[in-house]
Structure formats: structure tokens, C-alpha cells
Amino acid sequence: METTQNNQSAKNAPIGVFDSGVGGLTVFREIMRQIPNERIVYFGDTARVPYGCKSQETVTRYARQIVRFLRTFQVKTIVVACNTASAYALDTLEQETDIPVIDVVKPGAKMAAEMTRNGRIGVIATEATIGSQIYTEYIKKLNKNVTIYGKACPLLVPLVEEGLLEDPVTDEIARRYLGELIDIDIDTLILGCTHYPLIRSTIGRIMGTGVTLVNPAYETARELREMLSAKDLLNDEPPALGGNQYRFFVSDKAEKFVRFANSIIKYGILSAKSINIEEY
Amino acid sequence: METTQNNQSAKNAPIGVFDSGVGGLTVFREIMRQIPNERIVYFGDTARVPYGCKSQETVTRYARQIVRFLRTFQVKTIVVACNTASAYALDTLEQETDIPVIDVVKPGAKMAAEMTRNGRIGVIATEATIGSQIYTEYIKKLNKNVTIYGKACPLLVPLVEEGLLEDPVTDEIARRYLGELIDIDIDTLILGCTHYPLIRSTIGRIMGTGVTLVNPAYETARELREMLSAKDLLNDEPPALGGNQYRFFVSDKAEKFVRFANSIIKYGILSAKSINIEEY
């Protein structure tokens, strides 16, 4: 009897999701869609965004603080919804945490390794993620016969953050970054930064129909569902009405976060709470 | 005798200069040029850059930590070489600090109020600086008969950070931001972010010869020299050779900082030291 109750309470526990800012909302959105019964606590580190130009040491320190914060909600699992934090901090977080940690890199790498036909995979991401070679490492483990071409695209995040989702400037900058991947004749492209799915149509248009775009946000939600199911941790029932199914926390500028969130997610996000993450 | 010695030691004390990252180096550069005998300790908050999209509360907390760090060097004065930090945190820093604090906003505002002929002044800056209305407040104190037009230019910082100083994309984005200031017929434009002097020629070309560009970095160094002179704190003698005249600290990515610094300053900057600013 006690075991069942404990398991029920574990199933009801929320999922912790974090990102450097708003990009991880593309992962949140996929989790909402794929496992709609789950409660989620989302944290965006808007006081220290972006992570993509910062060092492993710094990003790992930030990720540790965020995990400490999320654990105050007794989360049953943590989703690192940020490629840079996945690339730099996943090993540390896994070693230090006794609940499952899901990242966005492994699921995207796995899908790309399965999808490619000509063995030429492109990855676009932040400087940090590309520099870490993390996608190459994971994909090579799954399939030795592929070649991975990484391209850092540092200006795409600020362009997305400014809302220039359909704009000639974003188009021009994307063309510059993607040009060499087109020349190399890749057939699969990983959108290795959580902001990029928001300009997926621009990227798709530039790459052409011959190139499959892999969205790690989608693959991550699928992996999360499978992991929770395997551990019998999926929430069987929809949460009670008015029960705060989704809670949002940021380290700065809660109102701006809520505006952005509502522009990309069809779910009335009423508020986000600002906290001082340096205290964790 | 003791007084003289104390004064000599006060004169020899370094100047503390800080910014959210590399932008404040344009202020550092002007101080080097205008008062070459001074020792300077520079801090760039590269672990939390940028400040321009963050809140007053957060930027003030960051600025306080940095002042505590700089004071460990017994600095004789502090220069807030960041418009956002000047706009948000100057009042707090002045109240809490018993050494002079110089900001970049007041000197630029003063020069613009003196320069304008038609009473129409433009200010380009980060979202935070424009939102604070700080330039308007200062200029109005000096000259009630002017109108100030503020324009936030959030993409110019990432474009400069990416080194696109002379590039059609930077040109296009700058034209979009500056278009309405041209239509309004301003005759004076304040470069209200320390990154902007690095694309001064692009901005000047777009605005045309009828518009005077005010560079707060230059005005700040002049104000600093005058203040130190008035308080008899100017260093009379050049520092001893090998005496670490300029020291650089950052909160992240010291090597990248050094590369950028050497690209804009004609002084061999050999190293910067990375520290954990959250500990201050």
C-alpha cells in the first residue's frame, strides 16, 4: 500500500525544465504536446543569458545552481533544455544528481544518425556547443561512418530574441552561416540550439527539400516520455483544474519572458516569477 | 610630511573601470590617451554580459559586486564605463561609495546639450538605457529647450561583438534604427552605448555630415581628468616600468577578451584574469 502511494506521489511530481532564457520553451512546448498530463516547472536564466558565448566552468556553475533551485520543487526528473548547458554540464549534473537528467543533445544526435543517407550531417549551434564537439562525439558512437560538420551561428539567437523571425536580415545571416553546409552536400541538419526551431522555415527554405531538419526539442520530449514510461513515472491522470500545472521562474524580467512565451505557445501563460538564482 | 605621503599614495592608486564586457574598452582607451600616467584596473563582466536587456534590480546587484571587487585594489575612483549600469546603478553606487564615481551618461549628455543648434538631440542605446530616460533627464536639467529622441538598438551590440564592424548587414540594421532619427531632423546624436564608437564611421555615414556624433567615452575621460585634477589626485609621474600599469579582469573567457581588446587598443595587452564575481 505504501509503495503504491509513494509511486503515485512520484508520478505526480513535476518535471523540471531549464534553459538560459526563452529558447527552452520550444522544448517545453513539445513536452506539453506529447505528455499533456505532466506538471512542469520551467526556469529561464534571463539574468545571465546567453550561455552560448560563455565557458564550460561558468555554464556548469550556473547549471548547478539551477538544479538546486528546481529540486526545491521535488521534481521527478530534470530536462536540460539548452544545448550549451547539455554540452558543457550534463556529465557533471548526472554525476551529482540522483534523479534522471535528460539533455537535448543525445536525442537529436540519435535521430540524425538514423536519418542520414549519405553520411554527411550538419550541426548549427552556439560557439560553445560547436566548440565542445559534443554532437560529433555522440553521433560517432552510434555510427562511425558519418562525417559531422559543425557551424557556429552566434547571431541567430539575438535575431530570434529580437523577433526578426521572417526578415531579410535573418535570411541573409542564415545564408552566410549555411552556405558552406550546402556546399559540403549534407543531407541532415541538426538545429542544435533551442532558438532555431523558431526560424525553421527560413532554414528549411535555404537548405532546400533535400535536407532533413532534425529538431532536438521534439526528440527530447519523445525520449522523456519513453524514460518516464520505462520507470513507471508517467502521470496517468490530468492534474486537477487550477492546480498550477505549469509554473515559470526566471532570474530577471519576468514580464518580458511572459510576452515572449505567449507569442510562441498556445497556452495562456499568466505569469512568471523572478528569483535570485545566485542564492542557490 | 605624512599628509604629503598620503597624497602621493592616493595619487598613485589605480582607477577602477568596469563594463558588462568589452564595450568599456572604448572608455579605457580614451583614459589611456588623455591621462597616460594613470594606473587602471579594468573589469569586464563577461560571464553575465549583456546588461542592456536586463532589469534595474539585476544590473544594480551586478554593479555592487563589481565595485566591491574593484575596491580590493584600493582604487581612487571608479568609472562606470557602461551606459546601462550608469543609467540603472549610478545613484546607488554614489550613495554607497565614499570614493568618487564617474559615469558615462552625464558627460555625454552635457556635451550634447552644448553642441545642439536646432535643439533636437538623438540618443541611441540599449533597451535598458533608453527605457530609463536617463539621457533625457540629464539633458533637460542643462537645457530645457531641447527635445530628446531615444532609440533602442538591441542588435548593434551582438553585431559589434561578432566583429561585423564594416558589413552590409550592420549597415542595414543601423539604417533601420537610425531612419526615424533622420526623419526627425536631429542635429546631434549621442552614441549611448560603449560599443557604438566602434561603428562610428557607419553611423556617421548614415546620419550625414549635418549631424554631430557625441562619443561619451571621450567626454568621460575628459571629465575624469578634470575631477582628478580638481582633487589633486592626478598621477604626476609615469608608473615604473614593469609595474602592471593596466590590469584586466573578467568573469569569464579571459582569452577571448584579450583577443578583442588587442584588436581595438594599440597596446600589447598580454593577459586578463578570470575571477568569480558572484563571490563579491
Q: Report how far apart the first and last C-alpha atoms of chain A are (Å, whole number).
A: 36
Higher pLDDT: B264 or A83? It is: A83
Q: Where are the alpha helices (DSSP H) in chain A?
A: 2-12, 25-34, 56-71, 83-96, 105-115, 127-132, 134-142, 156-161, 168-183, 200-207, 216-230, 254-264
Q: What pLDDT is attached to residue A267?
A: 76
A145: three-class secondary structure by DSSP: coil
What is the per-residue pLDDT across B189-239, written as a single tens digit (0 to 9) for each?
Answer: 999 999 999 999 999 999 999 999 999 999 999 999 999 999 999 998 888
pLDDT at B4 over 70: no
Mean of all residue pLDDT scores within chain A: 94
Place of cell 536564466: A45
Q: What pLDDT is attached to residue A196?
A: 96
What is the per-residue pLDDT across A84-95, written as a single tens digit (0 to 9) for each?
Answer: 999 999 999 999
Which site among B53, B68, B153 would you substitute to test the A interface, given the most A Cβ atoms closer than 10 Å to its Cβ?
A: B53
Q: Can you name the residues that pair with B120 across neighbouring β-strands?
A: B147
CB contact under 8 A, A162 and B173: no
pLDDT at A3 over 60: no
Here the ipTM equals: 0.89
Rounded average pLDDT over B170-191: 97
* Nearest to B21, CA basis, from B1, B2, B49: B49
What is the per-residue pLDDT across B231-278, written as a single tens digit (0 to 9) for each?
Answer: 999 998 888 777 789 999 999 999 999 998 998 887 777 799 999 999
pLDDT at B12 over 50: yes
Q: What pLDDT is attached to residue A241?
A: 74
Percent of chain A with pLDDT over 70: 98
Per-residue confidence band for B106, with pLDDT thresholds at 50, 70 and 90 = very high
Q: What pLDDT is attached to residue B1?
A: 43
Q: Can you name the residues that pair with B65 across neighbouring β-strands?
A: none
pLDDT at B78 over 60: yes
Rounded average pLDDT over A94-103: 97
**Residue A96 phi, psi (nearest 5):** -95, -5
Mean of all residue pLDDT scores within chain B: 94
Whether A153 is a known active-site residue: answer: no
pLDDT at B35 over 50: yes
Q: Sort out which chain A residues have CB atoms less than 8 A from B48's CB and list them.
A: 47-48
Q: Can you name the residues that pair with B212 across neighbouring β-strands?
A: B188
CB contact under 8 A, B55 and A276: no
Q: What pLDDT is attached to residue A246?
A: 94
Q: Sort out which chain B residues have CB atoms less than 8 A from A49's CB and list them.
A: 53
Selecting from B58, B154, B169 the residue whose C-beta is nearest the C-beta of A173 gives B169
What is the per-residue pLDDT across A213-247, written as a single tens digit (0 to 9) for each?
Answer: 999 999 999 999 999 999 999 998 888 777 789 99
Q: What pLDDT is attached to residue A5?
A: 62
Q: What pTM value is reported for the model?
A: 0.92
A14: three-class secondary structure by DSSP: coil
Helix pair B254-264, B25-34: axis angle to 10 deg: 50
pLDDT at A1 over 60: no
CB contact under 8 A, A253 and B155: no
Distance from the A173 Cα atom to the nearest Cα atom in chain B, whole angstroms = 8
- Among residues B79, B82, B134, B250, which one is catalytic? B82
| Rounded CA separation B12/B260 (Å) | 28
Question: In order of start, what are the domains of chain B with their CATH numbers?
Answer: 2-103+219-279 (3.40.50.1860), 106-216 (3.40.50.1860)
pLDDT at B182 over 90: yes
What is the per-residue pLDDT across A119-161, written as a single tens digit (0 to 9) for each?
Answer: 999 999 999 999 999 999 999 999 999 999 999 999 999 999 8
pLDDT at B57 over 90: yes
What is the per-residue pLDDT across B134-158, written as a single tens digit (0 to 9) for each?
Answer: 999 999 999 999 999 999 999 999 9
Place of cell 554525476: A95
Q: What pLDDT is attached to residue A2?
A: 46
Per-residue confidence band for B58, with pLDDT thresholds at 50, 70 and 90 = very high
What is the per-residue pLDDT across A161-218, written as a single tens digit (0 to 9) for each?
Answer: 888 999 999 999 999 999 999 999 999 999 999 999 999 999 999 999 999 999 999 9
